[in-house]
Amino acid sequence: MLSNLAARDVETLIHPYTNLATHRETGPLVLERGEGVFVFDTDGRPYIEGMAGLWCTALGYSNGELVEAARAQMARLPFTHLFSGRSHDPGIELAETLKELMPVPTSKIFFTSSGSEANDTQVKLAWYFNNALGRPEKKKIIARQRGYHGVTVASASMTGLAGNHADWDLPLPGFLHTACPHHYRYAEAGETEEAFSQRLADELEAMILREGPETVAAFIAEPVMGAGGAITPPAGYFAAIQAVLARYDVRFIADEVICGFGRCGTWFGGQALGMRPDTISFAKALTSGYVPLGGVSVDEPLYEAMLDQSRKLGSFGHGTTYSGHPVACAVALKTIEIFRREGIVAGVAAKAPHFQARLAKLAEHPIVGEARGIGLIGGLEIVADKASRRQYDPKAGVAARCVAFAQGEGLIVRFLAGDRVAVCPPLVIAPDEIDALFDRLTRALDRTRDWIAAQGLEAMPAAQS
């Protein structure tokens, strides 16, 4: 029997990324407050928020400085926009601050309200840029299988997950997907990480040549694949890929929506992984998830093209009502101030070895095939047979069951495609809380192992793995 609040939820809300039919029977987990790395349900039960909400609550819950920054800005100027040359102090100061932080040459900042909007804007800017340069045929966008870039029509077209395409009539024409850089799952027998990386770069080059370099505008990649499985790239991957992009004048878009602002022990994930993009999409941890805000960095060649287009067309015809919302910008400024004052990024780098050691230890569990990550992000893959890496039938929902067991242990983590489980706690997590997180996750894996045995589940045949 669902509680009154849960029953009201079922009758009123559509939940993203949820089996809506199952939800009618199980109802929601209703959370009512948070403190530090913990959230509490309506019964007062605490959970370690092992996903930082959705990869975003970097400074944890109920940070009084962020709350006060929002309150003060709402009292002073709760809203204005950036259309038609209007501006405001928080937006100007935040753009200046972000230009200083960006690891790539940056001329300007364009604000959005989310990562999806940021990546959607990247597509439009790539098209706009090539039109300005008199290259109207150079429009195709290459993303990667299992990459995740959002859910707008354009960003979902870049996303390389079947669930974001099935019955949505996506991807749109002109969006291509090259191979996923997951060495554990897709490398050939005996293939080193470096050799695998070079093979994927060669496959990307073959795709560009097949399509025609004059038709390919941009390549987009996350430093660490998030919703596609919390997948860390193999050694040498971005160096090999970037050599191909440079050869054919293909712009490189870094999707830093998840990895940006400290997650990998550097301000941006690409700094830890050797990425040299032309432009960066950002969101999530910029405000610690407290207020929606995202954006893109604009390099000087792109800005010059935008100026030329404004002279020709009379206006830059793109933007949304809440782009650069003053309350969001004020919270973002306070977030960055806290990051700098408290040494959050250095703290992640210091805590990462302990976090990664606990994560790697899970690879010894009888149902875990791989456990790997960087900084304070990690992913593990549940397998039926460790030697062959064969998996369970996806319909069995093994990873989903593990996540449910984790919730029962007082831990929130997320299951992803391919029976993978992601871990991405707030950056302020303490060493003893890291241990508590992995202790609870280990117990959840034990319960999953026992459930598998009770259900009599077996590996899929080798041809289907």
pLDDT of residue 3: 85
Q: Which fold has domain 4-62+344-457?
A: Aspartate Aminotransferase, domain 1 (3.90.1150)
pLDDT of residue 19: 93
pLDDT of residue 164: 96
pLDDT of residue 463: 57
Round to whole Å and give the CA distance between 69 and 77: 12
Nearest to 261 by CA among 155, 410, 103: 103
pLDDT of residue 1: 74
Round to whole Å and give the CA distance between 318 and 90: 21
pLDDT of residue 396: 95
Domain with CATH 3.90.1150.10 in the chain: 4-62+344-457
Q: Give the angle 371-374-377 at the CA atoms, nearest 5°.
A: 75
- Sorted by sequence, the CB contacts under 8 Å of residue 150 that are 6+ apart come out as 114, 115, 116, 117, 118, 119, 120, 156, 158, 159, 257
Domain with CATH 3.40.640.10 in the chain: 66-342
- CATH code assigned to 66-342: 3.40.640.10
Strands 368-374 and 377-382 turn out to be: antiparallel
pLDDT of residue 459: 86
pLDDT in single tens digits along all 465 residues of the chain = 788 999 999 999 999 999 999 999 999 999 999 999 999 999 999 999 999 999 999 999 999 999 999 999 999 999 999 999 999 999 999 999 999 999 999 999 999 999 999 999 999 999 999 999 999 999 999 999 999 999 999 999 999 999 999 999 999 999 999 999 999 999 999 999 999 999 999 999 999 999 999 999 999 999 999 999 999 999 999 999 999 999 999 999 999 999 999 999 999 999 999 999 999 999 999 999 999 999 999 999 999 999 999 999 999 999 999 999 999 999 999 999 999 999 999 999 999 999 999 999 999 999 999 999 999 999 999 999 999 999 999 999 999 999 999 999 999 999 999 999 999 999 999 999 999 999 999 999 999 999 999 999 988 887 554
Round to whole Å and give the CA distance between 226 and 379: 9
Nearest to 221 by CA among 150, 147, 163: 147
